[in-house]
Amino acid sequence: MASDTTNGDVLVRVENLKKYFPISKGFIFSRQVGAVKAVDDVSFEIRRGETLGVVGESGCGKSTTGRVILQLHKPTSGHVFFEDVDLTSLNETELRALRPKMQMIFQDSVASLNPRHSVGKIIGEPLHIHRMGSARQIHDRVIELMELVGLKPAWIKRFPHEFSGGQRQRINIARALSLNPSFIVADEPISALDVSIQAQVVNLLKKLQKQLGLTYLFIAHDLSMVRHISDRVAVMYLGKVMELASRNALFRDPLHPYTQSLISAVPAAMPKIERQRRRFILKGDPPSPSNPPSGCVFHTRCPLAVEACVTTVPEFRELQPGHFVACHLTDTEEGSKIPEKTVLASETS
pLDDT of residue 31: 84
Low-confidence ranges of the chain (pLDDT < 70): 1-8, 267-279, 332-349
- Is the separation of the CB atoms in 238 and 297 below 8 Å? yes
Among 265, 241, 261, CA closest to 323: 241
Query: Is the torsion defined by CA of 69, 72, 78, 82 positive or negative?
Result: positive
Q: What is the pLDDT of residues 185-210, one digit of tens each?
A: 999 998 878 888 898 999 999 999 99
Cα gap 211→224, rounded to integer Å: 24
pLDDT of residue 272: 62
pLDDT of residue 7: 45
pLDDT of residue 273: 58
Residues counted in the chain = 349
- Is the separation of the CB atoms in 292 and 301 below 8 Å? no
Q: Where are the alpha helices (DSSP H) in the chain?
A: 62-69, 92-98, 119-129, 135-148, 165-177, 195-212, 223-229, 247-252, 257-264, 271-276, 307-311, 340-348
Q: Hey, what CATH topology would domain 10-253 get?
A: Rossmann fold (3.40.50)
Cα gap 107→191, rounded to integer Å: 7
- Residue spans per domain, the chain: 10-253
